[in-house]
Amino acid sequence: MFEYAPAPESVRPQIKEHYGLFIGGEFVDAEHVFKSINPSTEEVLFTVAEASEADVARAVAAARKAQETVWGPMSGTERGKYLFRIARLLQEKAREFAVAESMDNGKPIKETRDFDVPTAAQHFFYHAGWADKLAYAGLGADPKPLGVVGQVIPWNFPLLMLAWKIAPALACGNTVVLKPAETTPLTALMFAELCQEADLPPGVVNILTGAGTTGSALVDSAVDKVAFTGSTAVGRAIAKAVAGSKKKVTLELGGKAANIVFDDAPIDQAVEGIVNGIFFNQGHVCCAGSRLLVQESVAEEVLARLKERVSLLRVGDPLDKNTDVGAINSAEQLERITALTEAGRGEGAEVWQPACDLPENGFWFRPTVFTGVQQSMRIAQEEIFGPVLSVLTFRTPDEAIAKANNTPYGLSAGVWTEKGSKILWAAERLRAGVVWANTFNQFDAASPFGGLKESGYGREGGRQGLEAYLDV
Amino acid sequence: MSDRLRVKKTYKLYVGGKFPRSESGRSYPVASPDGTELANAALASRKDARDAVAAARNAQRPWAGQTAYLRGQILYRAAEMLEGRAGQFAEELADATGADPHEALGTVEQAIDRLVHYAGWTDKYTSVLGGANPVAGPYFNHTTPEPLGVVAVVAPQDDPLLGLIDAIAPAIATGNTVVVLASESKPLPALSLGEVLATSDLPGGVVNLLSGKTAEVAPHLASHADVNGLDLRGVADADLAASLEAAAAETLKVVRRPGKDGNALDLLRQWTEYKTVWHPAGMAAGAGGAY
């Protein structure tokens, strides 16, 4: 293995010492504040306001006013131009956003720079174009906005999830109140500043920082729709909270994706795909390929090559351009990953980790591969949301499908084989909203993403994603 | 007048392609709006609901696996069978609702035409709703609507035939299977529809029809872990609808709240989920990703 010299990213974004709530186009303060830390150093980055129920009501009122008086009546062409402008500004400030995201979230700069921020900009650019073409979306001749949308997003892709939520909502003529995750509010607040710079009319986008109580206050507020990405437990609570109301809801929840490697797979590419599937973003991915199902006849070869490849992953400073695996997002998440990994050991699975040094401060977890995993084990059933792969084997294609579908989740799945008909056969049988064949973890604004079963309902992206934000 | 004794029909459930009585052995009297006693209908129990869900689950994969062309022909066949019995259904509908017999016949004809309409959708909605997605990379990317799975339906209370077809036809046209709780006070047209479906080459279990008390049976369907969708169109009581929706949230079922229907395409979309498949194209074939 080559020795790498450190290659730290030199750009530093302007991070304020304190951020307020973004309501009606202005930053306003709140009674309580909390700290946001850099998970790779545990240093405090800034403090941020915690929105109360009253703040939520104020933000929803601002969004309502903006929807009824400005954004709703505005022509689609003009709405689209604002979104194009936002996309362009995001591209201009891409490096600053990427570094800020890596600092606040812990993910490697390689990913924020090459994936999170450019894909977020693409989402705005893509949906900008829909704003004056909604009648052609195949949903009805005269689709109408829903009104005010309350959106709650997770910490794993803070800016990208914001883009997935805000871009289609705005394109369809809705206004939004968005709550970023407690541990990763930075890029949402920078986005609020960007909205000011874009001269977006006040109240069209409102950003409320806070924790779970702020989120549930937003769900219970006078919004017309709730869009949520996060855990299945919270998704279930939201579905219950809106029961009997007129609020629409879309939920993008957990997953426990199977990544199936057949004996006729291109092994080198499959190994790359397995690594990308589970170690991308430290495994903090709802659609992560966390269950590797490998055909018995090639299991030994695949595992040997996999371990060799994982040994080469560079774990460490998120701002180093060579880093493959960054910091775990929070102490709480590290604890959860550790507990589930212990459960895996306790239930008799065999654990393997590469030898690699971890930084002293911050939250870190070595890439981990469990072999000898049985379907009943917690590491095969529960979403770990960390860099932990559970390896199971199968003998026949039917067995692979049965094992892949043996989960209450249904978000994504992977299939590796050189045989086209086998891909289509498997893709048809896999109960998942997204199937990656001979690839994994691909995302695009034009491609609908979302799950089945307890992974939630509704799609984000593509023509189909517009359904979530229109009354047709 | 002939002194021949008329042979009266026993109205039974339709579950898994068979016509069982309720396993509970219970029945309840059904009368027309003017109080004329019409028949006794089986009073379905929790066990009947569970049997119906099991039948619907067993039938779902094979039904979705049939060609769209065949599903269309079977729905069309159901329209043919209903046309042949239009007179009987008009009579039953008039008895059930108190409608004028001529008007009732018109409703039956509408129901037949509605079946024909959805028969023609089976091999078209996939092209209309899905398609190729122009992603920014060397990938083939394709989205298709797939059936949600098993849908439980509380049928409209006051529109016992046409409203029932509006609930069932789009759901099964898209490859779902259904468990229907018929109108509580007007279940007879629904139970007779079972006879039409049973003679239309519709595989047993694709449509399952129960008669009984909404407040008793619906909660079991709403909380059943093997049900994927819940149609509350026939739940008039807002509190009951809210509690059924909350029960359905436990396993994150897709819920259709009481209220008006949209257009046909909306109804077809209601019980489908999009699946998107990616594959590398061109020289990048097989590339795993960023690493």
Share of chain B above pLDDT 90, in %: 93
Handedness of CA A52, A55, A61, A63 (dihedral sign): negative
First to last CA, chain B: 89
CA distance B245 to B257: 8
The shortest CB-CB distance from B291 to any of A275, A432, A448 is to A275
Distance from CA of A191 to the nearest CA of B (A): 24
pLDDT for position B1: 57
**Cα–Cα distance, B279 to B141 (Å, whole number):** 7
Of B128, B228, B242, the CB nearest to A243: B242
Concatenating the DSSP letter of every residue in B246-290 gives HHHHTTT-EEE-SS----HHHHHHHTEEEEEEEEE-GGGTT----
Q: What residues does each domain of chain B span? A: 38-281
CB A104 within 8 A of CB A158: yes
**Mean pLDDT (chain B, rounded):** 95
With the CA atoms of A214, A219, A224 and A226 taken in that order, what torsion angle do they form, in degrees rounded to the nearest 10? 100
A455 has pLDDT over 60:
yes
Interface of A with B in 176-195 (CB under 8 A): none
- The answer to whether B273 contacts A279, with C-beta atoms less than 8 Å apart, is no
- Say whether A135 sits in a helix, a strand or coil: helix
Region A40-69 average pLDDT: 98
Per-residue confidence (pLDDT) for residue B165, from 0 to 100:
97
Q: Report the gap between the CA of B16 and the closest CA in chain A (Å).
A: 23
Hey, what amino acid is at A303? L
Q: How confident is residue B282, by pLDDT bands cut at 50, 70 and 90?
A: confident
Do residue B278 and residue A442 have CB atoms under 8 angstroms apart?
A: yes
A438 interaction partners in chain B (CB closer than 8 Å): 279-280, 285-286
pLDDT mean over B239-243: 98
Three-class secondary structure of residue B184 per DSSP: coil
* R_g (Cα) of chain B, nearest Å: 21
Q: How far apart are CA A337 and CA A365, in angstroms?
A: 8
Percent of chain B with pLDDT over 70: 97
CB contact under 8 A, A140 and B143: no
Nearest-angstrom CA–CA distance, A128 and A261: 39
Q: Is the pTM of this model over 0.90?
A: yes
- Residue B202 carries which side chain, given as an amino acid letter? L
Q: What is the three-class DSSP state of B86?
A: helix
Task: Find the residue in B nearest to A240 (Cα).
Answer: B246
Q: Which domains does chain A have, with CATH numbers?
A: 18-253+451-471 (3.40.605.10), 258-437 (3.40.309.10)
Q: Establish if A1 touches chain B: CB-CB under 8 angstroms.
A: no
**Dihedral angle over CA of B132, B135, B137, B141, nearest 10:** -30
Number of A–B residue contacts, CB under 8 Å: 157
Q: Which whole number is the average pLDDT over A68-78?
A: 98
Q: Does A70 touch chain B (CB under 8 A)?
A: no
Query: What is the ipTM, given to two decimal places?
Result: 0.96
pLDDT tens across A188-214, in order? 999 999 999 999 999 999 999 999 999
Q: What is the mean pLDDT of chain A?
A: 97
Please give the residue of chain B at the shortest CA–CA distance from A111: B290
CA atoms of A368 and A310, how far apart (whole Å): 9
Give the tens place of pLDDT for each residue, B84-106.
999 999 999 999 999 999 999 99
Q: Does A287 touch chain B (CB under 8 A)?
A: no
Distance from CA of A61 to the nearest CA of B (A): 26
Residues of A in Cβ contact (< 8 Å) with B148: 452
* Count of Cβ atoms closer than 10 Å to residue A269 Cβ: 19
Partner residue facing B252 (CB), from A110, A251, A275? A251
Domain B38-281 has CATH 3.40.605.10: yes
Confidence band (pLDDT; 50, 70, 90) for A140? confident
CA nearest to B184, candidates B220, B203, B210, B223: B210
Rg of chain A on CA atoms, in Å? 22
Q: Which two tokens stand for residue A225?
A: 């729709």
Residue A444 to residue B243, Cβ atoms within 8 A: no
Quote the CA–CA distance of A346 and A326 in Å, as a whole number. Answer: 27
Q: Say yes or no: A272 contacts chain B, CB-CB below 8 A.
A: yes
Q: A317 or B289, which is more confident?
A: A317
Q: Which amino acid is at A205?
A: V
* A250 inside 8 A of chain B by CB: no
Distance in angstroms (rounded) separating the CA atoms of residues B135 and A137: 17
pLDDT band for B286, please (50, 70, 90 cuts).
very low
Question: Cβ contacts (< 8 Å) between B241 and chain A: which residues?
Answer: 244
Please indicate whether, in this complex, the C-beta atoms of B288 and A236 are within 8 angstroms of each other: no
Q: What was the pLDDT predicted at B283? A: 56
Please check the confidence at residue B5 and state whether its pLDDT lies above 60: yes
In whole angstroms, what is the distance from residue B111 CA to residue B166 CA?
8
Which band of pLDDT confidence, cut at 50, 70 and 90, is reported for residue B20? Answer: very high
Local confidence band at A233 (pLDDT 50, 70, 90 cut-offs): very high
d(CA A94, CA A33): 28
B252, B269, B288 member nearest A456 (Cβ): B252
Beta-carbon contacts of B246 under 8 Å, excluding residues fewer than 6 positions away, are A239, A240, A243, A244
Query: CB distance from A339 to chain B under 8 Å?
Result: no
Q: Which residue has the tokens 């869009």?
A: A227
**Alpha carbon distances (Å) from B226 to A194, A243, A283, A443, B55:** 46, 20, 30, 30, 11
Q: Do A244 and B239 touch (CB under 8 A)?
A: yes
Average pLDDT over residues A120-125: 98
Dihedral angle over CA of A21, A26, A27, A29, nearest 10: -80
Active site residues of A: 252, 286
Chain B residue whose CA is closest to A430: B275
Mutate to test the interface with A, among B135, B226, B276, B279 (most CBs of A within 10 A): B276
Residue B290 has pLDDT above 60, yes or no: no
What is the average per-residue pLDDT within A71-81? 98
Average pLDDT over residues B204-225: 98
User: For residue A296, what are the CA distances in angstroms to A289, A316, A348, A398?
Assistant: 18, 34, 19, 14
pLDDT at B75: 98
Flag whether residue A425 sits within 8 Å of chain B, measured between CB atoms: no
A276/B135 Cβ within 8 A: no
Residue A97 structure tokens: 């956003």
